């Protein structure tokens, strides 16, 4: 069951929307694929052809999608783990260190 943790609520609106979209993508795939065919190449390709465009999503790599599923399950439905992370550089980091 998905929930919005405090850290999820601190994300930008865009990150929150992307996390919701990824959650829906996971749910669609799990209802589409037979358990024995989970992330099988042809099945994955067909699913992505059918759904990525209609969901207005960039096609994730299978490995990236598997990580989404694992993280979402491990963190018990916290949508924060599905949000795209913004790379942050430390103000103390030097360009040539």
> Is 93 part of a structural domain of the chain?
no
Asked if the structure places residue 95 within a domain, the reply is no
Predicted confidence at residue 97, as pLDDT, reads 46
pLDDT at 91: 53
pLDDT at res. 77: 87
Q: Is residue 15 part of a domain?
A: yes
Q: Quick one: which H or E segment has residue 80?
A: none
Placement of tokens 């930008």 in the chain: 12
Q: How many angstroms separate the CA atoms of 9 and 12, rounded?
A: 8
Which tens digit of pLDDT belongs to each residue from 50-63?
999 999 999 999 99
* Per-residue pLDDT at 1: 55
Q: Which domain holds residue 22?
A: 6-82
Asked whether residue 87 is assigned to any structural domain, the reply reads: no
3 φ, ψ (degrees, to nearest 5): -150, 160
Count of domains observed in the chain: 1
Say what the pLDDT of residue 28 is. 95
The verdict on residue 14 lying in a domain is: yes
What's the pLDDT at 4? Answer: 74
Does residue 35 fall inside a structural domain?
Answer: yes
pLDDT < 50: residue spans in the chain: 96-97
pLDDT the model gives residue 87:
65
């Amino acid at each position: 069951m998905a929930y919005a943790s405090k850290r999820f609520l601190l994300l930008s609106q865009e990150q929150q929307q992307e996390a919701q979209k990824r959650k829906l993508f996971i749910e669609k795939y799990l209802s589409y694929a037979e358990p024995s065919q989970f992330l099988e190449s042809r099945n994955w390709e067909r699913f992505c052809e059918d759904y990525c465009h209609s969901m207005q999503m960039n096609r994730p790599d299978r490995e990236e999608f598997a990580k989404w599923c694992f993280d979402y399950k491990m963190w018990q439905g916290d949508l924060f783990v599905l949000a795209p992370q913004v790379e942050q550089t430390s103000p103390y980091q030097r360009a040539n260190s």
